[in-house]
Structure 1
Amino acid sequence: NLLSKLYEEDSECEEPELVQVYLRLKPCYKPSNLYEIRSDRCLITSLDTTTAGHGRRTQHNVSKMYTFTHIFGPDSRQQEL
């Protein structure tokens, strides 16, 4: 049966390998409150935005969390990569 043969071939396929993503932060001479490193894998960005809606100004804090394979901080040296 063709369908069972396809199923057998599909079950023999290896699991796809996940993409590894690394982040390297450059040294910054002025402290920034735009991001926070939570761990060696987690970075949270934070941006205050002011928008006009329905005739009044409102302020929103937009935060997003990003997860990486590894985060290299601003003090990391090339040899560590």
Structure 2
Amino acid sequence: MGKNGGYQFNNNYQNLTLKEIALSLEFEFLKNSWTSGQNQNYCMISQGMGKFMENLIYSINDEILNKLNNIKISDVEYKLTKI
């Protein structure tokens, strides 16, 4: 598997977790699309905001991956067939 293809998956796909799929695709759920170019030391709000937001986004992405680690393709398949 890979983001740009070229690999064939030879294992039992039903045991594959959604986390494994996300990691193989290098998928980011949240992206920090903008950060301040400079620290504004005179501004109490922007001072340190960039690092705080970066850490928050990494933390949220990790939490999502932890949740997806508990969901297998077979779980999704089962729930979809019960609808």
Q: After TM superposition, is the score higher than 0.5? A: no
Higher helix share: 2
Larger Rg: 1
RCO greater where, 1 or 2, for CA within 8 Å and sep 6 or more? 2
- Greater fraction of residues in strand: 1
> Normalising TM by the smaller chain, what interval?
under 0.3
